[in-house]
Chains A and B, each alone.
Chain A
Amino acid sequence: MNKTILLSLFCLINSYLAAQNVVISGYIYAAKTQESLIQATVEVLGTENGALSNSTGYYILHVKANDSLTLQVSYIGYATRQITLVPTASTMLNFAMEISDVATDTLLISNALSPNKQHQMSSIQLQAKDILRMPTIFGEPDVLKAIQLMPGVQAGVEGTAGVYVRGGSTDQNLVLIDDIPAYYLQHLGGFLSMLDAQSIQHINVLKGAFPARYGGRLSSVIDIRLKEGGKEKRHTTWAAGFLLAKYATDGPIGKNKKATFLATLRFTPIGPVAAVGSAIGTKGTRINGFNAYDMVLKYSLPLDENNKLSMHFYAGEDRLFGWIPNAKSKDTLQTTVQNARLSIDWHNRLGGVKWHHLYSPNLVHTITVGFSNFSSKSDFYTISRKAENNEFLASSNAGLKSGVSDIITKADWEYIPSARHQIKWGGYLTGHQYTPGISHYEVKIEDSTFTSPTQIKPIYALESAIYAEDEMALSDKCSLNAGFHVSHFLVRGKNYWGFQPRISMLYKLNSQLSLKGSFNQMQQYLHLLTTSYISFSSDLWVPPTDKVAPQQALQTAFGMAYQTKSRINLEAEIYYKRLSHQITYQEGNSFNSVNTQWEDRIATNGTGNIAGLEVLARKDYGKLTGWTSYTLSFNRKQFADINGGKSYWDTYDRRHNVNVVANYQFSPRLQLSANWTFSTGRPVAIADLNYSSAQSVGSFTGGGNKPYDFSFINAQYFSEKNSRRMLAYHRLDIGLQLIKAKKRGMRTWNLGLYNAYNRLNPMFYYYKKDGKDITLYGLTLFPILPSVSYTRSF
């Protein structure tokens, strides 16, 4: 009975609305490849009515019935299309977009819907070609490093791919690859991100004003959408650079060629070369090397007009290894042969299956099921045998393992009942397994075995959430997005709840200028424990427990967006963010304490206060495109057990940050790009005083056994954490792209110069002692670095 009433009510409302309006909906895709275009703009010219296409390229627009109107569809890098029609009934209208000529090929970072008309604030959008054009270290286009050039985003330590958004740490970024969260996404200790830009179609970065549909992290959403593969014909690209070799292919697949696929692979050919080189150089006594790879597989199948299925899989792995084979040693008793092996490896694997269903032109439903796994492991193994008869003498085996695994199910609905409402709701359920540092140690000597106790066990948890939001056009000038995100976390019998309101508002003062504001509360059921300024795979992902609360953040922001008559976009935003329930290692502790639970090594209930101003000027049209951004920010943290309870500047507090990104297209065959970045030096702890400190009893080294005496060491005294600043950081990168059409396909030479004026930016400081003098040095990892890579596509 109740269901009948509800359904009747629903139909009645729909009918009423339909009597006034009709729905125009459809798909927007690239004409050449048939790939869906995400966040393409559909506007009714002369009105404020418009929409953006969603992750499948689908758009919905409510228009007045029987009114003549002109629809304009635009997307970066594609020729704008216009169509005039008089809709009398709901219509399905698909748009195939052609790649434009010179003018729009020079587009860089932008959304075709200019920021002053977009409701969403605190956001940036990127496409693959934006990333591929930017000059970077080793000549490898890098997703995360492109994001680092945005206002409000800090880059972390020189050369690494860490992303620190508005004072948040790397774990506070929700990185989604086709809706599946990813964890540590860095190759080679963080110098390269783990995702090939070639596989990406679109990236949406949110720094604030998070809509209710996003949850689980505090500081950013990096929503990455993979390409689906072209529908018309097969494309193949291969590339070779200093560090990586790449192969990518995509195209139609299957009997009727309805389905499409994408496959990419990157790997390090230099790794095996290094291993062979070390073996030759040491005459076989030492073999050291590394290898890394990442791959993406995606399959998309439109079942019919209303149903689409897609599957994707990502894997990325790194391994550093060393091997000492058959080292001989001789003594009075015997000759011994030893083998030793060391390996450090970490990997990311994730995948998902997505079903996208249209109940009606204005009601869309998506179900996603997937998994995500990050694991880091290090192992050291030695074995000794008698040389004469291979008799076993001794062995030792030590290692550390950590990681996190998720099983995810999500359901999302989008309902657009009228031009004034876009309603979204849904939920997710995730099962987590955390492995916060399991270490093992075993030594065998003859017939005896000694092992260390394994006290740290996996932790299992269940996380769930529901959300609802409505983006409402309150008037022609004012729109409001209001929603809530309610989450629940269950771990070791402990329940945590999070009620997270989200609200954002847009007010258009005129056609060029708008004001925006937002408030959101976020809750995160995850912590990352890191012991240094370099985020590394050995950092521990740990959950909240009965002793450790979930992290929380409150953020409020105000901004303005203005588009000049010459179509330069100007944006300015101020924000304040407060973090609570932060954790960090207690002073002197690290991940490598064999016999202590991680919960006993940390300081908890930390807080963070972050405030900032971001200014951005961006030009997206013409031969010269690019942007300039300036960020002023203040970031302080406080823990009762750290720094004597006093607040201190956070590691990534960079007072001033300037980015200038420019791209000039001389011709379709020649493009020049340049980035210049400047940051205030980051806070660092420099010793204030040196003094003589006793070592422990029994450390006396003056000759003779003096068990009750001790020696002295040079000790350092730090009055306050992060009380000094490193030198300012700045760097210029230049890139040149030479493109030529060949008989089959295109070839591109990428020439790059990283750190073009050879600024020796220190990665970290360290002391060196020479006699009586102690000198402070800065270590620079990346001086001027040229690079060249060759790409061939068919």
Chain B
Amino acid sequence: MQKLTLILALFMIACQKEIKLPPSKIPQKVVVNCLFSPAKPWDVFVSLSTDAANSVPPIVENATVTILKEGQFWETLTYKANGEYIGSSFPQANHHYSIEVKVPNFETVTATDSVPSAVKIQDAFFTARKVTNTEGTPLFQQTILFKDPLLEQNFYQIYGAFDYYLVTDIWGVFYPFYNVSSYCLSDEAVKGQTISFVTTTTITERPAVFTDSISGTRTIYLYSLSPTHFKFVKTGHIQTVNNFEGIDTWGSALAITEPQNIYSNIQGGLGIFAAYNSDTMVTRYIK
């Protein structure tokens, strides 16, 4: 907070000058993005990296994308559009998957990950409060209960709509995105316990980003992430925060914070191939 205050003050009083640097010698890389779960068929996005002065990386339309299950060929994906390759099969829990992506004139890139079991939501409900937020919107207290398995290392992401949060246990990542928010947790401090995740939230009529309506229901998604997936989300959040979205359209203060690569398990390339599982529950309103 202190550094952000100082940095914002600096931006207000300082001068800026364009810097020309010689281009990087790092060659272009194949980028693969795939977050997969039993809830949806295979869906992979392939593109290429670009130089640091260009924000529109080119998509790849002629890649060969192959999925392997337990080291054996499973499926070759079909090109759909805009760099997206889709399959017909669904990943399954507790299985190990690999991906191979061949792009002409580039070396083949590969990655692996395993789908974790889904941890079940025990209960989800919200109650009304008499307070409002700074915009005058009524606030509600939302509770989500789930039990962490004792003998495993688990990572969670709770998806729903929250404007405020009261994290009752361990490290959380919070980033708002069009009022859609997620919280990521590891079970290090609450192993084997029932986690009571309590937040304060708004409920308003919105476009269909939310499942809720003014009558007061909402669907909560509890994602169980693989360790690879958790590392990816954590590092992705840090790079997003470091990029200071909102200051003069988009900027990243490269020398104020330590640069942080987003974790990538793509061998020979960039991007992510990571698994998760999920459980859902429709919340109930307790008056």
Question: Residues of A with Cβ closer than 8 Å to B?
Answer: 157, 189, 320, 327, 329-334, 336, 338, 344, 378, 380, 384, 393-394, 400, 443, 445-446, 448, 450, 452, 531-534, 536-538, 585, 587-588, 590, 592-596, 684-699, 701, 703-705, 707-708, 710-719, 721, 724, 726-727, 760, 762-781, 783
Decide yes or no whether B268 CB sits under 8 A from chain A. Answer: no
**6 A-B contact pairs sorted by A residue (CB < 8 Å):** A330-B136, A443-B166, A532-B257, A715-B239, A715-B262, A716-B259
Which of the residues B35, B129, B198, B223 comes within 8 Å of A694, measured between beta carbons?
B35
CB atoms of A697 and B52 under 8 A apart: no
Given A532-B257, A774-B53, 17 more A-B residue pairs with CB atoms under 8 Å apart are A336-B136, A534-B3, A687-B259, A693-B271, A697-B276, A698-B223, A762-B19, A764-B255, A766-B252, A767-B52, A768-B250, A768-B251, A773-B55, A774-B55, A776-B18, A777-B16, A780-B16
Task: Give the distance in Å from the alpha carbon of A766 to the alpha carbon of B14 in the complex.
Answer: 13
CB atoms of B168 and A450 under 8 A apart: yes
CB atoms of B134 and A705 under 8 A apart: no
User: Knowing A691-B31, A774-B52 touch, does A320 contact B240 (C-beta < 8 A)?
Assistant: no
Decide yes or no whether B254 CB sits under 8 A from chain A. Answer: yes
Task: Give the distance in Å from the alpha carbon of A684 to the alpha carbon of B253 in the complex.
Answer: 11
Size of the chain B interface, CB-CB below 8 angstroms: 106
Decide yes or no whether B170 CB sits under 8 A from chain A. Answer: yes
CB atoms of A690 and B51 under 8 A apart: yes
How many residue pairs between the two chains, A and B, have CB atoms under 8 Å in the bound complex?
305
Task: Give the distance in Å from the alpha carbon of A333 to the alpha carbon of B129 in the complex.
Answer: 11
Docked complex: B120-134 residues within 8 A CB-CB of A:
129-132, 134
Task: Tell which of A157, A336, A693 has the most Cβ of chain B within 10 Å.
Answer: A693
Q: Across the two chains, which residue of chain A brings its CB closest to B233? A: A696
CB atoms of A688 and B56 under 8 A apart: no
Decide yes or no whether B29 CB sits under 8 A from chain A. Answer: yes
Which of the residues A157, A714, A776 comes within 8 Å of B55, measured between beta carbons?
A714
CB atoms of B236 and A766 under 8 A apart: no
CB atoms of A694 and B271 under 8 A apart: yes
- CB-CB under 8 A from B151, the residues of chain A are none
CB atoms of B257 and A531 under 8 A apart: yes
CB atoms of A686 and B21 under 8 A apart: yes
CB atoms of A696 and B258 under 8 A apart: no
- CB-CB under 8 A from B3, the residues of chain A are 531-532, 534, 536, 538
User: Knowing A333-B132, A774-B54 touch, does A779 contact B19 (C-beta < 8 A)?
Assistant: no
**How far apart are B236's CB and chain A's nearest CB, in angstroms?**
7
Q: Across the two chains, which residue of chain B brings its CB closest to A332? A: B136
Task: Give the distance in Å from the alpha carbon of A776 to the alpha carbon of B132 in the complex.
Answer: 42
CB atoms of A537 and B2 under 8 A apart: yes
- CB-CB under 8 A from A773, the residues of chain B are 53-55
CB atoms of A689 and B26 under 8 A apart: yes
**How far apart are B210's CB and chain A's nearest CB, in angstroms?**
7
Docked complex: B25-59 residues within 8 A CB-CB of A:
26, 28-29, 31, 33-35, 37, 39-40, 45, 47-57
Q: Across the two chains, which residue of chain B brings its CB closest to A683? A: B255
- CB-CB under 8 A from B141, the residues of chain A are 445, 448
Decide yes or no whether B286 CB sits under 8 A from chain A. Answer: no
CB atoms of A691 and B250 under 8 A apart: no
CB atoms of A718 and B31 under 8 A apart: no
- CB-CB under 8 A from A707, the residues of chain B are 159, 219, 221, 278, 280
Q: Across the two chains, which residue of chain B brings its CB closest to A779? A: B14
CB atoms of A445 and B35 under 8 A apart: no
- CB-CB under 8 A from B33, the residues of chain A are 692-694, 712
CB atoms of B1 and A393 under 8 A apart: no
CB atoms of B55 and A690 under 8 A apart: yes
**How far apart are B150's CB and chain A's nearest CB, in angstroms?**
20
Interface code B248-285, partner A: CB below 8 Å = 1, 0 otherwise? 11111111111111100000001110001010100000
Which of the residues A329, A588, A594 comes within 8 Å of B235, measured between beta carbons?
A588
Decide yes or no whether B200 CB sits under 8 A from chain A. Answer: yes
**How far apart are A49's CB and chain B's nearest CB, in angstroms?**
53
CB atoms of A780 and B180 under 8 A apart: no
Decide yes or no whether B73 CB sits under 8 A from chain A. Answer: no
CB atoms of A534 and B157 under 8 A apart: no
User: Knowing A705-B210, A766-B253, A777-B16 touch, does A691 contact B271 (C-beta < 8 A)?
Assistant: yes
Interface code B176-187, partner A: CB below 8 Å = 1, 0 otherwise? 011010101000
Task: Give the distance in Å from the alpha carbon of A327 to the alpha carbon of B134 in the complex.
Answer: 9
Task: Give the distance in Å from the alpha carbon of A329 to the alpha carbon of B50 in the complex.
Answer: 47
**How far apart are A768's CB and chain B's nearest CB, in angstroms?**
5
CB atoms of A696 and B14 under 8 A apart: no
Task: Give the distance in Å from the alpha carbon of A334 to the alpha carbon of B37 in the complex.
Answer: 45
Decide yes or no whether B215 CB sits under 8 A from chain A. Answer: no
**How far apart are A320's CB and chain B's nearest CB, in angstroms?**
7
Which of the residues B54, B240, B248, B253 comes within 8 Å of A713, measured between beta carbons?
B240
Decide yes or no whether B104 CB sits under 8 A from chain A. Answer: no
Decide yes or no whether B6 CB sits under 8 A from chain A. Answer: yes
Task: Give the distance in Å from the alpha carbon of A765 to the alpha carbon of B51 in the complex.
Answer: 17
- CB-CB under 8 A from A712, the residues of chain B are 33, 45
Q: Across the two chains, which residue of chain A brings its CB closest to B27? A: A689
Decide yes or no whether B72 CB sits under 8 A from chain A. Answer: no
- CB-CB under 8 A from B108, the residues of chain A are none
Decide yes or no whether B99 CB sits under 8 A from chain A. Answer: no
CB atoms of B10 and A691 under 8 A apart: no
- CB-CB under 8 A from B26, the residues of chain A are 688-689, 717, 719
Task: Give the distance in Å from the alpha carbon of A475 to the alpha carbon of B157 in the complex.
Answer: 75
Decide yes or no whether B193 CB sits under 8 A from chain A. Answer: no
CB atoms of B1 and A400 under 8 A apart: yes
- CB-CB under 8 A from B6, the residues of chain A are 189, 534, 536
**How far apart are B234's CB and chain A's nearest CB, in angstroms?**
7
Task: Give the distance in Å from the alpha carbon of A445 to the alpha carbon of B166 in the complex.
Answer: 11
- CB-CB under 8 A from A771, the residues of chain B are 55
Which of the residues A330, A448, A697 comes within 8 Å of B223, measured between beta carbons?
A697
Decide yes or no whether B13 CB sits under 8 A from chain A. Answer: yes
Task: Give the distance in Å from the alpha carbon of A769 to the alpha carbon of B33 in the complex.
Answer: 23
CB atoms of A778 and B17 under 8 A apart: yes
**How far apart are B98's CB and chain A's nearest CB, in angstroms?**
18
